[in-house]
Structure 1
Amino acid sequence: MKAETSSINRTSLFYVLKDIQLHTQSMGWQQEILVDNEHTLLILTAGTGRLHLEETEFHMRQGRSYHITPGSTARIHSETDGMGFYLLTYELWGMEGTPSGQALPVRNPQFAPYQHQAEWSCLPFSQCIEYLEGIYRQRDTYSELESFDIHVRFQAFMLFLYRQNQNAAHHTNMRQAVEKSIQHLQEHYRNNWTVEQLAELANVARWQYTRIFKKITTKYPLDYLNGVRIDRAKQLLLATDDRLLDIAQFVGFNNEYYFNRRFKQTVGISPGQYRRQRHQEKMRVFAPFLEDFLVALGITPVVQCAHYRWGRQDYLGLHDVPVIDIEQEDIDELARHKPDLIMMDRGFRRWMSDDGLGRLAPTYEFPHASEDWRMTLRKSADLLGRKDRVQDVISQYEYKASEARRLLKRSVHAQTVACLRISALGISLYSGPYHGYTGPILYGDLGLTPHPLVQQLSRDARNAILSRKYLKLLDVDHLFITFDKRHSSWEGEERCLLDAPEWRSLPAVRSGCVYEVDFLTWMNYGVISHGKKIEDVLRVLT
């Protein structure tokens, strides 16, 4: 009798639990977690909180677990009712089969499912808690058998998590594929597209592609494509004097008639009427957080932006101009001011939908980063018919900066300077001379010397998270700080850092060389705000 044989898949995973902790924290508690070579799982059992992981913020709630991969930094912050949570650290090992039939252990194997996900479902939650309570009860055992039981329970717990997230992961992968195709569509909108081609690009069935696409964008694929083309045409109508036929063909429409019809259906007026609105004598302009450029060109905005936590840009002196709070996203309130033109940068999309704004008035979105303030100023002047003022504004600023640089060279010499943005979530260190709100002014125009951490941590980014570990290394001579109240749960929470021993031990703090500056003046790219930064620096360093 011949025996039938089969082999088990030689690719296996093993989860080695290193530690389990149970925390109960009161309102306002916060902590930074630095993960080296181990994985970390955080499972909320009570209350609510926020987890800031790399560039993403999660609102933590019961029934979810949060995965922090090796090499990551995370910040946990409890909210009004406090929070309770389990914190588990573990190592992930794999056993990979080789051609010779051997099995070799591999630490942190690449084939581990769902390890890239940051948020996992753990429902039913009662079953999740049963696993965790069983593991926690035996955490201090010295018995080899009970220790083995802990690891078996932990393997079962991870299997439970994977089973709950298998379907979600498949859906997430399809959604990510569709999102990637949407990004491709935004960049290649001039091409002729069919839904079949887009679905093939995403490797998703056509019916699923259309359903997911509409859920993401609220539009069907070809309607969305035409919307992208119309938006681009609106930019060109405001920024150029090109013929309507040339603009139509450039953005992907085959003929001017169809372009005109789709444009009027979408915008409510013809392309020609849209273009003519920018040539009005007394234009009513809404430029959210770009008011600096309007004032520099001698134009008073019809309404100014504010934020209920940040306040308004008082440094511009727009005391008699109506205010709209961007957190309210009140399109109807803005409509009452009847703007003729809306100017915005891409960052404003998180506050108000450009679709909603586009229904009110011709809307121009700057295609470049507004930190290039000279380009933004020139384009603003072009749109508003103030090109004759641009060179005077730039020349006045450059004279002011060169005079300040001369004075600072005598008074500061090689002393180091840094700028921090402090909030309830943590500390951001602002970058070197090429990026960000402050670096190009402090280190570029004024020639001040950045502390070595500025270059080490921020690199090419606009800012970098400054952990408590690195804060201790910030032996800078002069420190400019500003407070962001947006994430504070109570008045003054963002200032709690000033009581920390790491802060009080800084050389700049001990020597009285810490200078608090206005938030909206320093966290702004406008030419007037840059001039105010120079004045602030001169006031304390000369």
Structure 2
Amino acid sequence: MKTESRTDTTTQISLKDIRDYIAKNHHQPLTIEHLALISGLSSSYFGEAFKKAFDQSATDYLTALRIGHAKQLLRDTDLLLREIARKVGYSDEFYFSRKFKKEVGITPSAYSKMARKRISTFSVSTTGNLLALGILPVAAPLDAKWSPYYYNHYHEKIPVYVNIFDAESEDNFKKLASAKPDIHIFQEEPSLSMLDWLQTIGIENVYIQAKDWRTQLREIAIAVKKQSVGEHFIQSYEQKVLEAKQEIKRATKEDSFAVLRLCGDQLFLYCNKGIQDVLFTDLQLRPINAQQQTYNEHITLDQLVNLNPDRLLFIICPDSPTRHYWLTLQYLDRWKELRAVKNGHVYVLPSNPWFEYSAIAINRMLDEMLLMLTGKNPNPFPVPVHGNVSDGDL
């Protein structure tokens, strides 16, 4: 038993090396036996150890890398299908096609045709929905402060950054013209002058009016002819909800939840559309109040103590006065009386993704809830547009 314990400790480092090895050599004909051999473990123990370490099997990780690389080649090159299959590690193009369709929801040929459509948007939420469909927009509102997730992951892949606050500026018009999109997608009603300008330069416009993210995603998917991909994303999300709900229920039992927003020295009971959807509709957590709608209501510390939630999720405005009061608040005796504080069940939420409402943002909120409440990371690798993967052959 002592020997096995030492193996677990030392293997953790080598497993990270194995993961890096897979990433660098995913185009090679890798096998579990080969990976186990270079890790110094038996095949069966290697598979268990890898999944335990990263919450994902080596097979799933390899498949995600290969399919992700294939998507990039289908989007950005004119290579034949058999060439792409070989470049990403599949010797049989027909097996590759079946594998691709299983993971993405459509065939490589269909994905290639659809991916060639050039899409632009002025909306951060639309960017999230497009990425959920496997589409990189040619122009989008990327900003290191206001859309950090998309900026960090895609600033080298999305060629044109438009102004997030002044959509109909002259500068945005020029940028859009340079990006040469086929379709521009709005999630806020455009002006007549904007529509006239788009028509003049031959850009099709699509206005998405749906209020819930699933319908938004489906409407965009119809516009860009990626209905199968959209449905695949939604189905994968629903499956994740079922699994996360069970894990979180085991960890939190019947605990009550409150979401608070702190601005200056003012506390607000808070619930936006994304929080409502993920926490109280999908995960069916128990809210401290009976309201089943969005709200932003002022609450005193005494009122909060009277409600006394079991768990607190906190959104803190990033300005200096608010951050100063947040530090002060944690030393107040009334604050220390809260059950959530006594039990260490206070969770600080970043504004991103909790203020965004899109398919990608909702998916990230679900992942973050699972991680915060159970300690389990459902998505250790940032592959946000590659979809979910399932068990299968190498």
What is the TM-score with the length of structure 2 in the denominator?
Answer: 0.55
Distance in 2 (alpha carbons) for counterparts of 1:316 and 1:403 = 29
1:379 aligns with 2:219: yes
Distance 1:345 1:504, change over 3 A: farther
Structure 2 residue runs of 5 or longer lacking an equivalent are 1-113, 375-394
Corresponding position of 2:23: none
Match of 2:353 among 521, 525, 539: 521
Greater RCO structure (CA 8 Å; 6+ sep): 2
Match of 2:239 among 372, 396, 399: 399
| Aligned ranges 1:100-179 → 2 under 5 Å | none
Distance in 1 (alpha carbons) for counterparts of 2:339 and 2:304 = 11
Which letter maps to 1:342? H
Distance in 1 (alpha carbons) for counterparts of 2:341 and 2:162 = 37
| Aligned ranges 1:207-356 → 2 under 5 Å | 281-289=116-124, 290-306=126-142, 310-314=146-150, 317-320=153-156, 321=158, 322-329=160-167, 331-335=169-173, 336-338=175-177, 339-346=181-188, 354-355=191-192
Match of 1:440 among 257, 277, 291: 277
TM-aligned CA deviation for residue 385 of structure 1: 1.2
Corresponding position of 1:449: 286
Which letter maps to 1:345? Q
Corresponding position of 1:510: 342
Match of 1:422 among 262, 265, 288: 262
Which letter maps to 1:499? T
Which letter maps to 2:258? A
Higher strand fraction (1 or 2) = 1
Distance 1:308 1:410, change over 3 A: closer
Corresponding position of 1:475: 308
Match of 1:388 among 228, 231, 242: 228
Who wins on radius of gyration, i.e. which is larger? Answer: 1
CA contact (8 A) 1:411 1:541 kept: yes
Distance in 2 (alpha carbons) for counterparts of 1:438 and 1:383 = 27
Query: What do the CA deviations read for 1:148-206 (whole angstroms, capped 9, x no partner)?
Result: xxxxxxxxxxxxxxxxxxxxxxxxxxxxxxxxxxxxxxxxxxxxxxxxxxxxxxxxxxx
CA contact (8 A) 1:308 1:327 kept: no
Distance in 2 (alpha carbons) for counterparts of 1:419 and 1:315 = 27
Give RMSD over aligned pairs: 2.9
Query: What do the CA deviations read for 1:320-358 (whole angstroms, capped 9, x no partner)?
Result: 234334235562232223343332223xx6xxx634542
Distance in 2 (alpha carbons) for counterparts of 1:308 and 1:426 = 28
Same amino acid, percent of matched pairs: 23
Distance in 2 (alpha carbons) for counterparts of 1:477 and 1:447 = 15
TM-aligned CA deviation for residue 362 of structure 1: 3.8
CA contact (8 A) 1:414 1:449 kept: yes
Corresponding position of 2:252: 412
TM-aligned CA deviation for residue 515 of structure 1: 1.3
CA contact (8 A) 2:122 2:162 kept: no
Higher helix fraction (1 or 2) = 2
Distance in 2 (alpha carbons) for counterparts of 1:533 and 1:385 = 27
- Paired residue secondary structure (1:282): coil
- Paired residue secondary structure (1:417): strand
Distance in 1 (alpha carbons) for counterparts of 2:172 and 2:304 = 43
What is the TM-score with the length of structure 1 in the denominator?
Answer: 0.41
Distance 1:325 1:388, change over 3 A: same
Distance in 1 (alpha carbons) for counterparts of 2:286 and 2:359 = 22
Distance 1:495 1:310, change over 3 A: farther
- Paired residue secondary structure (2:365): helix
CA contact (8 A) 2:209 2:216 kept: no
Corresponding position of 2:84: none
Query: What do the CA deviations read for 1:411-448 (whole angstroms, capped 9, x no partner)?
Result: 211011222233338444234xxx72212211221122
Which letter maps to 1:382? I
Query: What do the CA deviations read for 1:75-94 (whole angstroms, capped 9, x no partner)?
Result: xxxxxxxxxxxxxxxxxxxx
- Paired residue secondary structure (2:250): helix
CA contact (8 A) 2:354 2:361 kept: yes
CA contact (8 A) 2:265 2:325 kept: no
Distance in 2 (alpha carbons) for counterparts of 1:315 and 1:478 = 32
Distance 1:312 1:512, change over 3 A: same
Aligned length in residues: 245
TM-aligned CA deviation for residue 296 of structure 1: 0.6
